[in-house]
Amino acid sequence: MKPIHLHYVWDYTRVDRAFWAEHLEDWVPHEIVDAHTHVTDPALRLAPMMEEMRRQYWVNELSEPIDAAASDKCIETVFPGRRVRCVAMGLPSLAFDIEKANQYLQRECPAREWHALSVLRPEWDGERVARELAKPGVIGVKPYYSLLGYDAETRDRFLESDIFDFLPHRALEVLNHHHAWVTLHVPKAERLPHPDNLRAIREIRRRYPDVSVVIAHFGRCYTELHARDGLPALADDPGIYFDNSAVLNPAVHRLAFEQIGPSRILYGTDNPVFYTRGRRQWQGRTYVNRTSHPFHFNRKREPSEIEARYTLYMYEALRAIKDACQDLGMRRAEVQAVFRDNARRLIERAVKHKPANRGAWDR
């Protein structure tokens, strides 16, 4: 087959098709909700990606926005024979027009039977949050620490912020009233295990029990050591959910299934970044991304015969989930819960409690 262009510098090749046929075709459920994917009109970029930022962090080199039509084509290619719906959010960066990016998803998602998480501006008051929740297709919000201020050289200027700095109480009051979905990317260099993160998440659960808290990327626990330090601390609260997006490590997936259980884990891709071709390796609390493209972060290349066997990161993530599920002997219904049912339950809850588009959130 001729390669099919996916997004940015990535193509879908015979290697990917063979990987899907060997490892995934007979296992991946036929109905999927991708609970964590980013869709943005590239025309809404306000500031270019600076070279300093590209060199600062590997994701910055890959963060090229994908619009809804291109996302459709990619999904059809990488999930052959599957029905995929998305919970989509814009790129949470002040380098983009946040208001118009949210409006873009409010137009595009309903036409696809998708749902949207609006990127949350920390300065919004309660009325503004309620108006956002009332918009077409919107079921919740996506807060992020970089929305506290723009820095052209780093996205991590506010990395050590407290969760309530960028997900303030005035927003949580409204989100709680409407049983809304919040996908929370935790701050701190220590990731989920940082005591302040655990404290804030517990406080959210105590004060705002009707918010559907979905902690992104297993709390950024990409290594087994981070997962062992963070996930057990929140395992006993049935109201805390996690998405598994961007996690390639099968040991992390296995630990999450053991500690959290399949009824509180949601499948997500973190696309378009995870159309990247390559693999990830781990050592202690660090990881190295391998890819076949000459990015700044890809300084130590592997031999060409190894790079020739690279598939998409998202396929490596799917295999990691599969390996963990099979190791634990999970039932088919539990796998389907991760890939569809858990997200569907939270979507239905949020849709049921959507505010009327008329003003005050407490009417």
Q: How far apart are CA 198 and CA 229, in angstroms?
A: 11
Q: What is the pLDDT of residues 185-215, one digit of tens each?
A: 999 999 999 999 999 999 999 999 999 999 9
pLDDT band at 1 (very low <50, low <70, confident <90, very high): confident
Cβ neighbors of 238 (< 8 A, separation 6 or more) are 264
Which residue do the tokens 């962090």 mark? 57
Say what the pLDDT of residue 356 is: 78
pLDDT of 46 > 50? The answer is yes
Q: How many CA atoms lie within 13 A of 295 on its CB side?
A: 24
Q: How far apart are CA 124 and CA 211, in angstroms?
A: 18
Beta bridge partners of 89: 38, 117
Q: What is the pLDDT of residues 6-19, one digit of tens each?
A: 999 999 999 999 99
Output the CA angle 171-93-282, nearest 5 degrees.
105
Mean of the pLDDT values across residues 161-170?
98
pLDDT band at 360 (very low <50, low <70, confident <90, very high): very low
pLDDT of 363 > 50? The answer is no
Say what the pLDDT of residue 359 is: 39
Q: How far is CA 179 from CA 6, 36, 176, in A?
A: 36, 19, 5
pLDDT band at 153 (very low <50, low <70, confident <90, very high): confident
Say what the pLDDT of residue 357 is: 54
Say what the pLDDT of residue 362 is: 35
Which residue do the tokens 């260099």 mark? 189
* Domains of the chain with CATH codes: 4-352 (3.20.20.140)
Q: pTM, whole model, 2 decimals?
A: 0.96
The CA radius of gyration of the chain, in Å to the nearest whole number, is: 19
Instruction: Tell me the average pLDDT of the chain.
Output: 96
pLDDT band at 31 (very low <50, low <70, confident <90, very high): very high
Q: How many residues appear in the chain? A: 363
Higher pLDDT, 264 or 57: 264
Q: What is the pLDDT of residues 284-322, one digit of tens each?
A: 999 999 999 999 999 989 999 999 999 999 999 999 999
What tokens appear for 261 in the block? 């259980």
